[in-house]
Amino acid sequence: MIPFNKPPITGYEQQYLHQAVENGKLAGDGSFTKSCNEWMEEYFDCTKAFLTPSCTHALEMAALLAGIGPGDEVIMPSYTFVSTANAFVLRGASIVFVDIRPDTMNIDERLIEDAITSKTKAIVPVHYAGVACEMDKILFIAKKHNLTVIEDAAQGVMSTYKGRALGTIGDLGCYSFHETKNYTSGEGGALLVNNPEWKERAEIIREKGTNRSQFFRGQVDKYTWVDVGSSYLPSELNAAFLYAQFEQADAINKDRIKAWNTYYEELYPLAEEGKAELPYIPADCVHNAHMFYIKTKDLEERTALIDWLKQYDIMSAFHYVPLHSSEAGKRFGRFYGNDRFTTRESDRLLRLPMYYGLSEENVKYIAEKVRSYYAC
């Protein structure tokens, strides 16, 4: 059986887990957490990086930092994971969903400005499949209207836009290290604080609203409750596991890109014959092979292809049900303008198996079975 996803394992995780146990410090912000934070700051070139228990938590921290409150509006695509929206709904905001571009499945930057009202506080671009949104345009609009930009870069670790790491371009960026993502600690995430003004407050919010970190650095003589906050730090065990993967980040990335490129070559005939569409990578974007998808003619064909592949023990998957059509999405948000592409394109998208260690042979086998469905 070829699974749809497998968590990456490099072989060094157990050694670091053992070391964390030996260190005798299991709570958050020990030496492995520090190493992970510093690695991200250096590798991605950002002001401050904080490990969090998940990307969901990083988004929640971002909503707190951005000062989102009741009555505010936040702009994002409907084609995303629930956490992108929930983080802001938890603060009392309502969500304004904007249509996506059919080529990248990312928010259509040309539609954002019209969706802005006097209540708008933030724009949340989601870098789908690790392929960047049109960030220059989005930053320009945000600046003009004085809005915060929070990147949902859950899928974009190691991807770049015009040479800059995704997650480091907006005011804040959120990463996921869930087991379905390119690098993992089982459950995990990170908040990247790019706007230096928020560095100190991020640290406080993450530590239950206390100035504990300042106390440990000797900057204050006692530690106390100074702001709202929650527990947004993962255990050292998670950090130890993740650090082993950071050290192998380039090897993992290379392996995934190789599989992605093989899929692309092997399925190119389908695109040429107009039978299915392949992903599009804009010139300014370097992606991380988070996902390989094709687009079928319609929902019916996609369902048939999933079943076809299942016969050969190949697990494929569709993706998000657009949030604006969900029960909670209707309650907490509204779609701005026309849904030209969100529903139609999400119905056609089919994700093929993709994980670290997926062999060349298996990619070719999967591609052959996809081609055989279309008999070409």
Binding site for ligand PLP (CB under 6 A): 54-56, 80-81, 83-84, 126, 152, 154-155, 176, 178, 189
Closest to ligand PLP by CB, 182 vs 210, is 182
What is the Cα–Cα distance from 131 to 26, expressed in whole angstroms?
35
Instruction: Give backbone dihedrals phi and psi of 238, rounded to 5 degrees, phi first.
Output: -65, -40
What is the Cα–Cα distance from 64 to 229, expressed in whole angstroms?
8
Q: How many CA atoms lie within 13 A of 324 on its CB side?
A: 22
- The CA–CA distances, whole Å, from 317 to 52, 62, 180, 347 equal 28, 30, 13, 11
Q: Which helix (H) or strand (E) holds 333?
A: strand 333-335
Helices (H) and strands (E) in the chain, counts: 14, 13
CB of 135 to ligand PLP, least distance (A): 16
Closest to ligand PLP by CB, 33 vs 56, is 56
Closest to ligand PLP by CB, 212 vs 351, is 351
CB of 376 to ligand PLP, least distance (A): 32
CB of 84 to ligand PLP, least distance (A): 5
Closest to ligand PLP by CB, 72 vs 152, is 152
CB of 271 to ligand PLP, least distance (A): 25
Closest to ligand PLP by CB, 59 vs 267, is 59
Q: Are 73 and 115 in contact (CB under 8 A)?
A: no
CB of 59 to ligand PLP, least distance (A): 7
Structure token pair of residue 359: 């062999």
CB of 7 to ligand PLP, least distance (A): 12
Closest to ligand PLP by CB, 185 vs 211, is 185
Q: How many CA atoms lie within 13 A of 270 on its CB side?
A: 24
What is the Cα–Cα distance from 59 to 150, expressed in whole angstroms?
8
CB of 320 to ligand PLP, least distance (A): 9
What is the Cα–Cα distance from 359 to 363, expressed in whole angstroms?
6
Closest to ligand PLP by CB, 174 vs 276, is 174
